[in-house]
Amino acid sequence: MTRQVEIYDTTLRDGTQAENFNLSVNDKIRISLQLDEMGIDFIEGGWPGSNPQSVDFFKAMHGVPLKHSRLSAFGSTRSFANTPEKDPNLQALIEAKTPVITIFGKSWDIHVFDALRIELADNLLLIEESLRYLRPHVGKLFYDAEHFFDGFKKNAEYALATLGKAIDGGADCLILCDTNGGMLPQEVQPIIERVQLFVKERGNTVSLGIHTHNDSETAVANSLIALSLGVRQVQGTMNGYGERCGNANLTSIIPALALKMDCGCEAVRRVGKLTETSRLVDELANLPSNKYQPFVGRSAFAHKGGIHVSAVKRNPLTYEHIEPEKVGNIRRVLISDQSGKSNVLHKAKKFGINIEDDSPVIATIVRELKELENQGFQYEGAEASFELLMRRALGTQKNYFRLKGFRAINTKCSMEQPPETEATVRLEVGGEEIHTAAMGNGPVNALDIALRKALVHFYPHLQEVDLIDYKVRVLSGEHGTGAKVRVLIESRDTHEQWGTVGVSLNIIEASWQALVDSMNYKLMRDEQKLLAK
Q: Return the ∠ at Cα 360 (arms to 358 and 365), rounded to 5°.
A: 110
Let me know: does 36 contact 66? Beta carbons within 8 Å.
yes
For 503, the enclosing helix (H) or strand (E) is strand 497-504
Cα separation, 2 vs 67, in Å, equals 23
Q: What is the pLDDT along the chain (533 residues), one digit of tens a residue?
A: 789 999 999 999 999 999 999 999 999 999 999 999 999 999 999 999 888 999 999 999 999 999 999 999 999 999 999 999 999 999 999 999 999 999 999 999 999 999 999 999 999 999 999 999 999 999 999 999 999 999 999 999 999 999 999 999 999 999 999 999 999 999 999 999 999 999 999 988 899 999 999 999 999 999 999 999 999 999 999 999 999 999 999 999 999 999 999 999 999 999 999 999 999 999 899 898 898 999 999 889 887 655 665 676 678 888 899 999 999 998 876 543 444 676 678 788 888 998 888 888 888 888 888 888 888 898 878 989 999 999 999 999 999 999 999 999 999 888 888 889 999 999 999 999 999 999 999 999 999 999 999 999 999 999 999 998 899 998 875 566 678 999 999 999 988 999 999 999 999 999 999 999 999 999 999 999 988 87
Q: Return the ∠ at Cα 281 (arms to 18 and 51), rounded to 5°.
A: 50
**What's the full length of the chain, in residues?**
533
Let me know: does 180 contact 240? Beta carbons within 8 Å.
no
Closest C-alpha to 148, from 171, 125, 166, 170: 166
Let me know: does 185 contact 219? Beta carbons within 8 Å.
no
Task: Please tell me the chain's helix, strand, coil percentages from 3-state DSSP, rounded to the nearest 5.
Answer: 45, 20, 30
Cα separation, 338 vs 334, in Å, equals 8
Cα separation, 407 vs 300, in Å, equals 43
Cα separation, 130 vs 118, in Å, equals 16
For 426, the enclosing helix (H) or strand (E) is strand 420-429
Based on its alpha-carbon atoms, the radius of gyration of the chain, rounded to whole angstroms, reads 26
Instruction: Please give the pLDDT value at position 480.
Output: 65
- DSSP single-letter state for residue 315: -
Alpha-helical runs (H) found in 244-382 = 250-259, 266-269, 274-284, 306-314, 341-351, 360-375
Cα separation, 70 vs 312, in Å, equals 41
* AA letter at 285: A
Residues 6 or more apart in contact with residue 200 via CB below 8 angstroms: none
Closest C-alpha to 148, from 186, 121, 187: 187
Closest C-alpha to 178, from 245, 229, 232, 124: 245
Domains in the chain: ranges and CATH: 3-284 (3.20.20.70), 301-339 (4.10.430), 345-400+459-533 (3.30.160.340), 403-449 (no CATH)
Pairing of strands 207-212, 173-178: parallel
Residues 6 or more apart in contact with residue 315 via CB below 8 angstroms: none
User: Residue 145: helix, strand or coil by DSSP?
Assistant: strand
Cα separation, 227 vs 287, in Å, equals 30
Backbone φ, ψ for residue 13 (5° rounding): -120, -70
For the chain, the distance separating the N- and C-terminal CA atoms, rounded to the nearest angstrom, is 49
Q: What's the Cα-to-Cα distance from 69 to each of 33, 125, 142, 276, rounded to whole Å?
A: 9, 32, 15, 18
Residue 154, classified by CB atoms within 10 Å of its CB into exposed (0-12), middle (13-18) or buried (19+), is: middle
Residue 183, classified by CB atoms within 10 Å of its CB into exposed (0-12), middle (13-18) or buried (19+), is: buried
Closest C-alpha to 88, from 129, 49, 54, 125: 49
Instruction: Please give the pLDDT value at position 516.
Output: 96
- DSSP single-letter state for residue 460: G
CA atoms within 13 A on the CB side of 295: 27
Cα separation, 318 vs 386, in Å, equals 33
Instruction: Please give the pLDDT value at position 479.
Output: 61
According to the 3-state scheme, what is the secondary structure of 167-208?
Answer: HHHCCCEEEEEECCCCCCHHHHHHHHHHHHHHHHHCCCCCEE
Q: Return the ∠ at Cα 70 (arms to 65 and 75), rounded to 5°.
A: 120
Let me know: does 181 contact 211? Beta carbons within 8 Å.
no
Backbone φ, ψ for residue 63 (5° rounding): -100, 10
Q: What's the Cα-to-Cα distance from 315 to each of 259, 308, 323, 338, rounded to whole Å?
A: 19, 10, 11, 15
Backbone φ, ψ for residue 440 (5° rounding): -155, 175
